[in-house]
Amino acid sequence: MLQPNLTDDQRHRVLDDLLKRKATVGIGEWKGCIKQKSGRKTKDRAEIARIRAVPVEERKPHRRHADAAGLSKHLVQALIREGVLKVHSTRIKPYLSGDNKHRRIEHAPTFIGPTTLMFEPMYDIVHVDEKWFHEDDNTRSCFIFDGETALQRSR
């Protein structure tokens, strides 16, 4: 077994000496060896301005958005990862004005029999839901920057 180089008394003196130096001079700061211009490079502001120039309606999937701005798909994905661009989903919201609601209520009594006050059988009537005339994707996603408002879609 190896013998210690210092005795316990010598170790205590070395420790006391180090503590005295720390109290008078202080301990130096640890600094990294890599100076300035280190780390991940920031995105070019001109490229971000080109992406911002694309209208919100055309900012759909990564590839189409990158083609519209004339940039790489990787840059668009990197901006989303960094939080500069955000994916926003829009849903179609039904839009009925007060006049439309009133007309619908006025239309319902035409199906009630005048003598029985019961609904007449509607065997000769074809019911076509109006949403078939406005066929569209219910949910669409687009990319927006901070402070931008997404498009409101309604039927």
Q: In this structure, what token pair is assigned to residue 60?
A: 């759909």
Q: In this structure, what token pair is assigned to residue 62?
A: 């990564």
CA-based nearest residue to 153, from 95, 80, 110: 95
Residue 113: inside a domain:
no
Count of structural domains within the chain? 1
Helix, strand, or coil (residue 102):
helix
Containing 101, the helix (H) or strand (E) segment is helix 98-107
* Beta bridge mates, 53: none
Residue 9: inside a domain:
no
The reported pLDDT for the residue numbered 134 is 60
Residue 50: inside a domain:
yes
The reported pLDDT for the residue numbered 2 is 66
Q: How far apart are CA 3 and CA 74, in angstroms?
A: 62
pTM of the model: 0.44
User: Which CATH number does the domain housing residue 87 bear?
Assistant: 1.10.10
Low-confidence ranges of the chain (pLDDT < 50): none
User: What is the domain range of residue 71?
Assistant: 42-91+138-147
Residue 105: inside a domain:
no
Residue 67: inside a domain:
yes
Helix, strand, or coil (residue 21):
helix
Residue 77: inside a domain:
yes
Q: How many CB atoms lie within 10 A of CB 120?
A: 13
Residue 28: inside a domain:
no
CA-based nearest residue to 70, from 56, 82, 53: 53
Residue 74: inside a domain:
yes
Query: Tens of pLDDT along 110-129?
Result: 888 888 888 888 888 887 77
Q: How far apart are CA 93 and CA 90, in angstroms?
A: 9
Q: 68 with 58: CB under 8 angstroms?
A: yes
Which residues are within 8 A (CB) of 112 and not within 5 positions of it... i.e. 6 or more apart? 118, 119, 120
